[in-house]
Amino acid sequence: MDKLKLIIKREFLAKVKNKSFIVMTILSPLLMVGLVMLIIFLNDKNSSDIKTIAYVDESGQLATVFENSKSIHYVDLTALGLEEAKKKTETTYFGLIYIPKNDSIQYLSEGIEFFSADSPSITLLNSIESKLENKIRNLKIAQLQIDVEKIKATETNVDIVTENFSGEKSSKIGSLLRMAAGGGFGYLIFMFIIIYGTSVMRSVIEEKTSRIIEVIISSVKPFQLMLGKILGNALAGILQFVIWMISAGFLMFIITSIFGVEATSSSTAMGQMNPEMVQQMQQASTSDLQIALQEIKNMPILTMFFSFIIYFLGGYLIYSSIYAAIGAAVDSETDTQQFMMPVMLPLIIAIYVGFSIIENPHGPIAVGFSIFPLTSPIVMLMRIPFGVPWWQIAISMALLLVTFLGIVWFAAKIYRVGILMYGKKPSYKELYKWLKY
């Protein structure tokens, strides 16, 4: 046990003292924050850019909808006539809305055109269209002599509240939250396996190429060395993630409190959306905030937390021992390609299956892959926030454990033989033979 501790300590320190690790750990949060800042900045810049749009309203009925907003100003060029207005717009304005002369309100919506040098964004067009639609509808209502108040009185807003039989309420925003929580955990495991699995593999290859391996395994068992390596790298990885979380949170806090970016940018972003959406969102934000809080409370947090730990450990240990075996089998990193494919495949499938879970968290695909041990660490974690029967979790974890033992045994065998084989790239057939040595 003492030796295992020594190995873990060395592997951890070797990883942590590595320059690229230090640079990555410090730089990543800065980069992340920088990226967020850049997006906010660009967004801000984009929306502070005021577009001027001209219009020619030959019908004379719709001009009232063109009211200046924060980002769009309107200019009335009806007096110039279409041809003149086009010429003027081409040189001075962003675009020109043309509404042809039409006596009948019935056909008012036909033949409206938008001229511009650069094609307008879909949001812009949608917003103009909905403004015109509203106006024309109001005109039609007036023409049919229907009382607008009565129409308004018929408007209803149905919000179906879903509830399961044990009385837990859920909502759309709830499933969004579940998705985010599950996806976040699943993706975290995926990234961790890839980054630190590869790191284990590199470390094995380094010991092989530097030829220190034989000295070490004359003092410790190959399995101890492999385990120490896997655990040491995991600790370094956990440290890195913790530093990232803390420093990113801290930086975000500092930046938002100094510049107050968040508040202004979100309001300008809203300004760009069409008013109905803003209204919807505001509605949502007041009532749904409570629902969201309720939802978070309702999520099986304890189950999520414990299963995260179990699946994280299981998934990482399974994959990193495969990575260690690959590292032991080859002589250099360039030779790893042929063995990497079968390792990456289940991981990538798991992430894709994760997307389909959003549609149907309890469908046969989701259930199947959340039980299959090579994908379960990612897929099951994505499913758990939606509520998974305990027997499925039990089967999945049992299979994970069995697979973990099997794979570690298998990897340790390959590792034990591989680390002492120099100078050739083995085939799968030879790897199979090694199992029997």
Partner 1 sequence: MSNILTIENVCKTYGGFTALNNVSISVPSGSVFGLLGPNGAGKTSLIRIINQITLPDSGTIYLDNEKLQPHHVHQIGYLPEERGLYKSMKVGEQALYLAQLKGMSKQEAKKKLLYWFEKFEITDWWNKKIQELSKGMAQKVQFIVTVLHSPKLLIFDEPFSGFDPINANLIKDEILKLRDEGASIIFSTHRMESVEELCDYIALIHKSNKILDGKLSDVKQQFKTNQFEIGLLCDDKEMLLNEIKSKFEVDDNISATFNADLKVVVTLGKNETSTDLIKYLNNKAQITHFTEIIPSANDIFIKAVANNG
Closest CA to 115 of 103, 130, 99: 99
Is 113 or 214 the residue whose CB approaches partner 1 more closely? 214
Q: How far is CA 96 from CA 86, 295, 316, 383, in A?
A: 7, 47, 59, 50
How far are the Cα atoms of 253, 319, 377, 383 from residue 259, in angstroms, in the given order? 10, 43, 40, 39
Q: Cβ closer to partner 1: 6 or 278?
A: 6
Question: Do residues 354 and 190 make contact, with C-beta atoms less than 8 angstroms apart?
Answer: no
Contact 178, 385 (CB under 8 A): yes
Residue 178 to residues 15, 171, 182: CA-CA distances in angstroms?
A: 35, 10, 6
**Cβ closer to partner 1: 135 or 416?**
416
Q: 213 or 230, CB closer to partner 1?
A: 213
The string of DSSP codes covering 265-291 is HHHHHHHHS-HHHHHHHHHHHHHHHHH
Distance, in Å, from the CA atom of 401 to the CA atom of 371, rounded to the nearest integer, reads 12
Shortest separation between residue 419's beta carbon and partner 1, angstroms: 9
State which residue, 106 or 219, has the beta carbon closest to partner 1.
219
* Least gap, CB of 206 to partner 1 (angstroms): 8
Report which DSSP code applies to 410.
H
Least distance from partner 1 to the Cβ atom of residue 226, Å: 14
Q: How far is the CB of 413 from partner 1 (least distance, A)?
A: 12
Task: State in angstroms the smallest separation of the CB of 6 from partner 1.
Answer: 5
Query: Which parts of this chain interact with partner 1 (CB under 8 A)?
Result: 3, 6-7, 10, 14, 18, 206-207, 210-212, 214-222, 420, 422, 433, 436-437
Closest separation in Å from C-beta 343 to partner 1: 25
Output the six-digit token pair for 385: 């926030």
Q: Do 259 and 38 contact (CB within 8 A), yes or no?
A: no
User: Quick check: 326 and 431 in contact, CB under 8 A?
Assistant: no
User: CB of 216: closest distance to partner 1 in angstroms?
Assistant: 7
Q: Which is nearer to partner 1, 207 or 288 (CB)?
A: 207
Contact yes or no for 404/378 (Cβ under 8 A):
no
What is the number of alpha carbons within 13 Å of residue 318 lying toward its C-beta?
A: 29
Nearer to partner 1 by Cβ, of 19 and 45: the residue is: 19
State which residue, 152 or 436, has the beta carbon closest to partner 1: 436
Q: In angstroms, what is the minimal distance from the CB of 328 to partner 1? A: 14
